Structure 1
Amino acid sequence: MPHRPVLRSTLFAALLAAGGVCSAQADPALTVGNSLSYFQGKFGTNDTIHYYYDATDIQYGDNDWRVKLTVPYISATGLPAGATLTGGSVVGGTGSTQTRLASGLGDVWLAGHYKVFQGSGLTPSVTPYIKVKFGTASVSSGLGTGKNDYEVGVGLQQIIGSSWFPFANLGYRVVGNPAGYNLRNIGIYQLGASYALSQKNIVTLMYSGSQAMVAGGSAPSDVILAWNYNLTPQGSGFQVYLDKGLSNGSANFGVGIGGQIVF
């Protein structure tokens, strides 16, 4: 099957890094949140694609470990006929002159993180993670491939003084590959820093990228500016962010807003 270039969605990765810098939990806590993201661009095609991602997150954990379930609703307009969304990419539909609307339940994600080393001074904390993308999105509607993805990686977090929180995330994703798609496994990376203006206000600047999922495709590359506002010391609050794509494999721009409650 032919392939279209990559469609990229960062989906509050910066906010997840920023959200914990001033709201560490000594005891396990339940967090429920929702975020709505919008991305727009041609993504290297002849069509302007509008991509919406509405995610509900349920997380349980403390400062050392956490488990998170993400259930998304997705909608895309301007999607080439015959194309399929998968893992933030769009494949198939090459040569099509028609576009369509596709919407419905997306692929559900389950992630687990566990801190194996608490850093101090110039030594960062080390938090390995594992993620599973379940192929729950409709194959007939073009919202997914019906295949699972598996990702492993590690997060590094540092504290400089009382206000700076640099971080880096490195991962490797084994991509589910239906017959005829010829998708590739990819490396994923993020690098950035959060700055606490106060106990409530946190600003994050992050670079995010990955390898291209299809041979010859443009690798996603984005810069993200995010702001978290904590309403409670436990971390309940809201977030907004701006995304600027730096390659043909990314959206031209994206925006997002969300909130969470820590019980």
Structure 2
Amino acid sequence: MTTLSRGARGAAILAAPLALFLFWPARAETQPEIRFVPAYFSGDFGTGISTGMTYVPLIFILGSTRQELRVTVPYLSVTTSQPVTFVGNEIIPRGPGGRTAESGLGDIVAQEEYFFLEGGRRRPWLSGLIRIKAPTADDTRGLGTGEWDYGPGAAVIQPLGARWNLLGEAQYVVRGDPRGTDFRNTWWLSGGLQKKLSGSTAASLYYERMQSVVPGRPDLVDLILGYDHGFARRLTLRTSVFVGLSDTAEDYGLSAGFSMR
């Protein structure tokens, strides 16, 4: 009997929602979307280890006015002055060694969000979500932990007039512990403002704070400036600039790509 690795089992399990996206019958109330938004991050992430990371996600979204299913399939390329492990948005040293360059499939993430309250001109949108990360990345090369993560969350979108939205989200992440480690479960919080500059253009500013998986280590804090522009009814340019506000975050990051409905 053939035994699948943890990564292969994770990929097989998360293939179900991906297949649902690909073969879901076209209905007026559902809207499929594909996003391709590569990103690059640079810094030492509070470790003293010079790190450059390219994150290339392919994101499949199936949404309606009441729910959104999102599956992220990422490719990672990490170049460092010493070996590290990539844990979510965090870089953790993993022993002595020289310069390393690792690349491959990252951890696949599935997220289901359900809107309990549909917003209006003044009424907020309120939603609950569940997020699952499968260990599809190669933990022996530091591209992931080799463990499952999961957790619930909640989000709010509060309209502020015709052009502004106030955004907030909180997630609690239950971390799997690789052998010989004791990662703590973490909170992931974000809040920001979005402004519609025109019918096809929007800008946003987010403050994001995530607890470190290592007890006693400072939180990862980011400021994110986003700009989206729709070229046509189905094609949208999506760009972001990331500025790390804590030693444990990146020094800077850039992302640019497209989404297609």
Taking structure 1 as the reference length, the TM-score comes to: 0.85
Structure 1 unpaired stretches of 5+: 1-24
Name the residue aligned to 2:206: 206
- For residue 106 of structure 2, what is the amino acid of its counterpart? G
- For residue 114 of structure 1, what is the amino acid of its counterpart? Y
Whether 1:148 and 2:148 are equivalent positions in the alignment is: yes
Question: Counterparts of 2:50 and 2:81 in 1: how far apart (Å)?
Answer: 8
Which structure has greater helix proportion?
2
Name the residue aligned to 1:253: 252
Name the residue aligned to 1:48: 50
- Cα deviation code 1:68-108 (max 9, x no counterpart): 11000001111522x321212222425x2523111100000
Whether 1:137 and 2:137 are equivalent positions in the alignment is: yes
Structure 1 stretches of 4+ moved >4 Å: 120-123
Question: Counterparts of 2:190 and 2:146 in 1: how far apart (Å)?
Answer: 27
Whether 1:76 and 2:78 are equivalent positions in the alignment is: yes
What is the deviation of 1:249?
1.1
Residue pair 2:114, 2:129 contacting (<8 A) in 1 also: yes
- Cα deviation code 1:195-251 (max 9, x no counterpart): 001011100001011111101222100001000001234x53111110100001100
Equivalent of residue 62 in structure 1, options 53, 64, 67? 64
Question: Counterparts of 2:151 and 2:245 in 1: how far apart (Å)?
Answer: 24
Residue pair 2:45, 2:91 contacting (<8 A) in 1 also: no
Residue pair 1:124, 1:156 contacting (<8 A) in 2 also: yes
Name the residue aligned to 2:21: none
- For residue 246 of structure 2, what is the amino acid of its counterpart? S
Residue pair 1:26, 1:62 contacting (<8 A) in 2 also: no
- Cα deviation code 1:39-65 (max 9, x no counterpart): 001111222100110000111111221
Structure 2 vs 1, CA of residues 217 and 199 (structure 1 numbering), >3 Å: closer, same or farther? same
Whether 1:103 and 2:103 are equivalent positions in the alignment is: yes
Structure 2 vs 1, CA of residues 167 and 121 (structure 1 numbering), >3 Å: closer, same or farther? same
What number of residue pairs does the alignment pair up? 235
Name the residue aligned to 1:232: 232
CA-based RMSD of the aligned residues comes to 1.7
Q: What SS does structure 2 have at the residue aligned with 1:158? A: strand
- For residue 87 of structure 1, what is the amino acid of its counterpart? G
Question: Counterparts of 1:214 and 1:129 in 2: how far apart (Å)?
Answer: 25
Name which of structure 1's ranges 112-121 and 33-42 shifts more when overlaid on structure 2: 112-121
Name the residue aligned to 2:17: none
Name which of structure 1's ranges 122-131 and 154-163 shifts more when overlaid on structure 2: 122-131
Q: What SS does structure 1 have at the residue aligned with 2:37? A: strand
Name the residue aligned to 1:13: none
Name the residue aligned to 2:90: 89
Question: Counterparts of 2:195 and 2:165 in 1: how far apart (Å)?
Answer: 6
Identical amino acids, percent of aligned pairs: 27
Taking structure 2 as the reference length, the TM-score comes to: 0.85
Question: Counterparts of 1:146 and 1:36 in 2: how far apart (Å)?
Answer: 23
Residue pair 1:26, 1:63 contacting (<8 A) in 2 also: no
- For residue 205 of structure 1, what is the amino acid of its counterpart? L
Question: Counterparts of 1:62 and 1:199 in 2: how far apart (Å)?
Answer: 20
Question: Counterparts of 1:26 and 1:89 in 2: how far apart (Å)?
Answer: 40
Structure 2 unpaired stretches of 5+: 1-26
Name the residue aligned to 1:10: none
